């Protein structure tokens, strides 16, 4: 695209972030949120709102989608979270069809009131065995599991010590549960120790929960889980690890970083989601005692007061675990890692900064939100469907493109994706620099 051929882009559509509207003020709860919609809609009108898109087909390596204004586009798909391509696996589809005939489509109640099914009971046992834990408890979503595990066990006088970059589901669970929340520097064992020492020096009576993730998807990095577990043992704290992004897709036998660090069966609470590698909604909490499971079943509100996972989802996840555990699962993980390494290598060779270590989420650093929005606007026309991550998903001015790799991506898909990123970034950078120059000229002339 040549300079001078750019369509007009209002500066307000490139400026600001959701952070500006997070704490709306005013007596009228509904009137005070209008500013966010005006800002959002301005971006939408200029093709700079890449969120809330819908898919028109199964989430394969190539798919069709629509933006939230109804615009249709098609391209190589690096936006779906289906790391092992199990969402359309024939065996899982067959399992779903079969359970519909036997159980229907709805759980028809919470797990405490006969919402559980034979499939969900078997699935809980499978998860516990897979992670070498004593018990596991299902939740209707991964978010509910993460939030509910903390809210179900922590009380207001207790303490939560959490990685500063932990997922909002974990942070909101902590905020709903306790007055005393301490964020330690990302992946810093020493900063976590500092907080634990201060807390225990002042309070030996109340509980402490230490919370982290086994794989942080926005930065693609992993903490020293063994060192954090040792801290919890030293300071009489309960350790919770969220394994949403690596379970099934990475690590020995698909058991993620916990297995890679030799901690199977040793972490107090393992929280996970089925939505990344197990072809369904839903989540779980695995624990080391029946006492913990039963307490959470009745005192974790998302479990006790939500309809249980449907029989379709439970049966689908059960079949997904069978695949993950077998030879096919290992082959899919090997193919996935090959694709991850290939994509990262090609992006680096093209001059981009790729964050973290190899995982199914490959984040390409952009920086300024305005530039990132212009780049993301060009991705669909370049033939790539990928996600933009900006605040509040990441820190202000740390925007990035988020490419989610699947085992089913081909060499051609990866090559096309890299070419699309190159083209979108070149065009976005040219327009961003031109717009910046034009604004400076206007300021200089008053």
Q: What is the CATH number of the domain that holds 373?
A: 3.90.1150.10
Within a domain: residue 10?
no
The whole-number average pLDDT for the span 146-174 is 97
How far is the C-alpha of 322 from the C-alpha of 274, rounded, in Å?
14
pLDDT in tens, 395-428: 888 999 999 999 999 999 999 999 999 999 999 9
How far, in Å, CA of 377 to CA of 373, rounded? 6
Give mean pLDDT, residues 99-112: 87
Task: Indicate the average pLDDT of the chain.
Answer: 94
Query: How confident is the model over 226-250, as a mean pLDDT?
Result: 97
Question: Do 378 and 252 share a domain, yes or no?
Answer: no
317 and 175 both lie in a single domain:
yes
pLDDT at 3 over 70: no
Using 50, 70 and 90 to split pLDDT, how confident is the model at 145?
Answer: very high
Pairing of strands 135-139, 180-184: unpaired
Query: How far apart are the C-alpha atoms of 52 and 123, rounded to whole Å?
Result: 31
Based on the fold, state whether residues 50 and 111 are members of the same structural domain.
Answer: no
User: Cis bond leading into 392, ω under 30°?
Assistant: yes
118 contacts 142 by C-beta, under 8 angstroms: no
Per-residue pLDDT, 446? 58
* Whether residues 318 and 386 fall in one domain: no
Give the pLDDT confidence of 67-97 residue by residue, as tens digits.
998 999 999 999 999 999 999 999 999 999 9
pLDDT 10s digits, 255-276: 999 999 999 999 999 999 999 9
Of 121, 150, 147, nearest to 135 by C-alpha is 121
pLDDT at 180 > cutoff 80: yes
Residues 391 and 416 occupy one common structural domain: yes
Asked whether residue 222 carries a pLDDT value surpassing 70, the answer given is yes
**270 lies in some domain:** yes
pLDDT > 70 in the chain, percent: 98
pLDDT at 94: 95
CA distance 321 to 325: 6
Does residue 30 lie in a domain region? no
The span from the CA of 364 to the CA of 355, in Å, is 6
CATH of the domain at 268: 3.40.640.10
Q: In terms of domains, do 144 and 207 share one?
A: yes
Distance between CA atoms of residues 444 and 408, nearest Å: 53
Range of the domain at 251: 90-325
Is 84 domain-assigned?
Answer: no
Task: Indicate whether 418 belongs to any domain.
Answer: yes
- Mean pLDDT of all residues in 355-374: 95
Question: What is the pLDDT, as a whole number, of residue 392?
Answer: 84
pLDDT for 111 equals 85
Please name which of 267, 4, 298 lies closest in space to residue 148, comparing C-alpha atoms: 298
Task: Tell me the C-alpha distance between 77 and 12, whole Å.
Answer: 30
Q: Are residues 437 and 415 in the same domain?
A: yes
Query: pLDDT band at 2, cuts 50/70/90?
Result: very low
Question: Does the pLDDT at position 445 exceed 80?
Answer: no
* Domain assignment present for 61: yes
Q: Is there a domain that residue 41 lies in?
A: no
- Answer with the one of 305, 325, 345 that is the final residue of a domain: 325
Q: Is the pLDDT of residue 122 over 70?
A: yes
252 contacts: CB under 8 Å, gap ≥ 6: 259, 260
In total, how many domains does the chain have?
2
SS3 string of the chain?
CCCCCCCCCCHHHHCCCHHHHCCCCCCCCCHHHHHHHHHHHHHHHCCCCCCCCEECCCCCCEEEEECCCCCEEEEEECCCCCCCCCCCCHHHHHHHHHHHHHHCCCCCCCHHHCCCCHHHHHHHHHHHHHCCCCEEEEECCHHHHHHHHHHHHCCCCCEEEEECCCCHHHHHHHHHHCCEEEEECCCCHHHHHHHHHHHHHHCCCCCEEEEEECCECCCCECCCHHHHHHHHHHCCCEEEEECCCCCCCCCHHHCHHHHHCCCCCCCCEEEEECCCCCCCCCEEEEECCHHHHHHHHHHCHHHHCCCCCCHHHHHHHHHHHHHHHCHHHHHHHHHHHHHHHHHHHHHHHCCCCECCCCCCEEEEEEECHHHHHHHHHHCHHHCEECEEECCCCCCCCCEEEEEECCCCCCHHHHHHHHHHHHHHHHHHHHHHHHHHHHHHHHHHCC
Is residue 1 predicted with pLDDT exceeding 70?
Answer: no
Instruction: Give the pLDDT of residue 136.
Output: 98
Over residues 327-342, the mean pLDDT reads 98
Last residue within a domain, chosen from 299, 325, 351: 325
Over its C-alpha atoms, the chain yields an Rg (Å, rounded) of 23
Look at residue 58 and tell me if it is in a domain.
Answer: yes
- Are 111 and 247 in a shared domain? yes
Q: 436 and 294, same structural domain? A: no
Indicate if the pLDDT at residue 4 is higher than 90.
no
Residue with the larger pLDDT of the pair 181 and 1: 181
| Same-domain check for residues 192 and 235 | yes
| pLDDT higher at 103 or 195 | 195
Q: What local confidence, expressed as pLDDT, does residue 5 receive?
A: 62
Of 325, 342, 362, which residue is a domain's last? 325
CB atoms within 10 A of CB 317: 29
CA 314 to CA 117: how far, in whole Å?
A: 8
One domain for residues 271 and 412: no
Residues near 330 by beta carbon (within 8 Å), at least 6 away in sequence: 253, 254
Asked if residue 112 has pLDDT above 90, the reply is no
pLDDT at 214 over 60: yes
Whether the predicted pLDDT of 444 surpasses 50:
yes
Q: Does residue 350 share a domain with residue 314?
A: no
Whether residue 441 is predicted with pLDDT greater than 80 in this model: the reply is no
């Amino acid at each position: 695209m040549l300079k001078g051929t750019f369509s007009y882009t209002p500066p307000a559509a490139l400026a600001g972030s959701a952070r500006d509207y997070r704490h709306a003020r005013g007596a009228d709860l509904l009137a005070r949120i209008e500013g966010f919609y005006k800002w959002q809609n301005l971006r939408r009108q200029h093709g700079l709102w890449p969120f809330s898109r819908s898919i028109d087909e199964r989430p394969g390596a190539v798919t069709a989608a629509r933006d939230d204004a109804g615009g249709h586009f098609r391209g190589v798909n690096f936006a779906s979270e289906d790391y092992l391509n199990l969402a359309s696996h024939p065996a899982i589809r067959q399992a779903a069809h079969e359970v519909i005939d036997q159980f229907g489509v709805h759980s028809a109640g919470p797990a405490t009131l006969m919402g559980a099914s034979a499939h969900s009971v078997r699935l809980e046992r499978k998860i516990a065995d897979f992670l070498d834990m004593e018990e596991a408890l299902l939740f209707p979503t991964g978010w509910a599991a993460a939030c509910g595990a903390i809210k179900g066990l922590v009380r207001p006088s207790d303490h939560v010590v959490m990685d500063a970059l932990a997922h909002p589901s974990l942070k909101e669970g902590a905020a709903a549960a306790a007055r005393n929340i301490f964020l330690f520097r990302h992946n810093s064992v020493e900063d976590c120790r500092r907080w634990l020492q201060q807390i225990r020096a002042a309070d030996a009576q109340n509980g402490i929960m230490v919370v982290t993730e086994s794989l942080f998807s926005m930065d693609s990095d992993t903490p020293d889980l063994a060192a954090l577990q040792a801290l919890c043992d030293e300071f009489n704290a309960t350790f919770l690890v969220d394994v949403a992004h690596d379970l099934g897709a990475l690590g020995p036998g698909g058991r993620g970083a916990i297995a890679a660090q030799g901690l199977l069966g040793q972490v107090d609470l393992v929280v996970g989601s089925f939505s990344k590698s197990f072809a369904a909604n839903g989540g779980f909490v695995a624990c080391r005692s029946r006492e913990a499971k039963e307490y959470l079943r009745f005192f974790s509100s998302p479990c006790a007061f939500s309809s249980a996972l449907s029989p379709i989802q439970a049966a689908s996840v059960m079949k997904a675990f069978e695949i993950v555990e077998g030879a096919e699962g290992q082959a899919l993980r090997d193919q996935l890692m090959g694709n991850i390494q290939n994509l990262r290598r090609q992006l680096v060779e093209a001059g981009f900064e790729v964050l973290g270590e190899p995982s199914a989420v490959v984040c390409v650093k952009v920086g300024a939100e305005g530039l990132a929005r212009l780049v993301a606007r060009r991705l669909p026309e370049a033939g790539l469907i990928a996600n933009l991550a900006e605040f509040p998903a990441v820190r202000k001015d740390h925007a990035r493109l988020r490419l989610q790799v699947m085992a089913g991506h081909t060499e051609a898909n990866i090559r096309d994706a890299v070419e699309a990123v190159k083209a979108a970034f070149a065009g976005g950078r040219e327009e961003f620099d031109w717009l910046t120059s034009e604004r400076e000229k206007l300021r200089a002339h008053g």
